[in-house]
Structure 1
Amino acid sequence: MVNLIKQQFTLTRQGVMQALEGVSPEMADVIPFGFNNNIRWQVGHILYAGELHLFPGKGTLPAEYANFFDSGTRPRQSKEGVPSLKILIAELKEQYVRIQNIPEEAFNEKLSRPRPGLETFGEFAAMMAYHEAMHLGQIQSLKRVVQAKGV
């Protein structure tokens, strides 16, 4: 199971990186009609959620990332101090290495606060890989819409 979860993170994170190819900082900040967020928020949210749930209490991100990228936040709410797309991409790459280095035995550990269908860290990590794939789809959609507008 551990290899499958790490393989899913590999496939999804590669997909994210591929989707971000050719995205300029200007493109990353466009919020098209019908969307609540932009590409930069999607990238930051993937990063923040991964850090919060895969490395609880051991995260390396600045605390203010919660103000920018936690569930329910919106890019229109705060623009001061939001990290650049370039920084977020570098942090995604670094986080990916740490995900791949999670010890195999950690995936069998019981969660201190289990949820329905998610009792072990491995089950939760699999859900996080799914979560990242959903946001990859949002990045791909946003990119197509922004490119169609000629930004």
Structure 2
Amino acid sequence: MESIFKAWKTSRNLYLEYFEKYTLEQLNKIPVGFNNNLIWNIGHIIVAQQALVYKGSNLEGYIPEKLFGLYKPGTKPTGQTTQTEVDELKELLISLIDQTIQDFRNDTFETFNERMTGTGFHLSSLADAFEFNNYHEGLHLGYMMSIRKFV
């Protein structure tokens, strides 16, 4: 699990750079040919991790239900994300790493609901969920690398 956590931390630090390199306007811009923007992708990977790991283990997690509605799979930006919301996402992006690792080490995750993801990955264990999360975050980082060329 340590290598999975190391990769996750690296991924999240790459996402963190977008807050430093792009303005609020750029984070919110949906380029022609795309259906989302930089900030939606960040919100989405935060929500997805919480759903995969916590909800998959019958736990609530640490983000407001409102965020699930805004960034869950199948959604797209419905308006401009405010600076306050961006700041909240920036905080969650990093703080949830240590919280999740602490919960893992404290054996908070007692069960896991085996399931198939919408993209066809079979998750039979919590370890599978963590591995898929890293894969999923890598995909969205790739999308963001494409979007950034047009903002």
Specify the TM-score bucket, using the shorter chain as the normaliser.
0.7 to 0.9
Partner of 1:29: 28
**Cα gap change, 1:59/1:109 in structure 2, threshold over 3 Å: closer, same or farther?**
closer
Q: Give the Cα–Cα distance (whole angstroms) in 1 for the partners of residues 122 and 85 of structure 2.
A: 36
Give SS of 2:112's match: strand
Kindly provide the amino acid, as one letter, of the partner of residue 89 in structure 1. K
**Cα gap change, 1:32/1:66 in structure 2, threshold over 3 Å: closer, same or farther?**
same
Q: Give the Cα–Cα distance (whole angstroms) in 2 for the partners of residues 123 and 105 of structure 1.
A: 19
Count of aligned pairs = 144
Q: Which runs of 5+ in 1 are unaligned?
A: 147-151
Paired-residue identity, %: 23
Q: Specify which structure has the higher proportion of helix.
A: 2
Contact 2:45 2:137 in 1 (8 A): yes
TM-score by length of 2: 0.81
Structure 1 residue 131 displacement after superposition: 0.3
Structure 1 residue 81 displacement after superposition: 8.2
The CA RMSD measured in Å over matched residues stands at: 2.6
1:13 maps onto 2:12 in alignment: yes
Partner of 1:58: 60
**Cα gap change, 1:145/1:133 in structure 2, threshold over 3 Å: closer, same or farther?**
same
Partner of 1:142: 147
Kindly provide the amino acid, as one letter, of the partner of residue 104 in structure 2. P
Partner of 1:4: 3
Matches within 5 A, 1:1-150: 2-56=1-55, 57-76=59-78, 84-104=85-105, 111-115=112-116, 117-146=122-151
Kindly provide the amino acid, as one letter, of the partner of residue 61 in structure 2. G
Q: Give the Cα–Cα distance (whole angstroms) in 2 for the partners of residues 46 and 11 of structure 1.
A: 14
Q: Which runs of 5+ in 2 are unaligned?
A: none
Kindly provide the amino acid, as one letter, of the partner of residue 67 in structure 1. G
**Cα gap change, 1:105/1:118 in structure 2, threshold over 3 Å: closer, same or farther?**
farther
Structure 1 residue 109 displacement after superposition: 6.7
Contact 2:114 2:123 in 1 (8 A): no
**Cα gap change, 1:80/1:89 in structure 2, threshold over 3 Å: closer, same or farther?**
closer
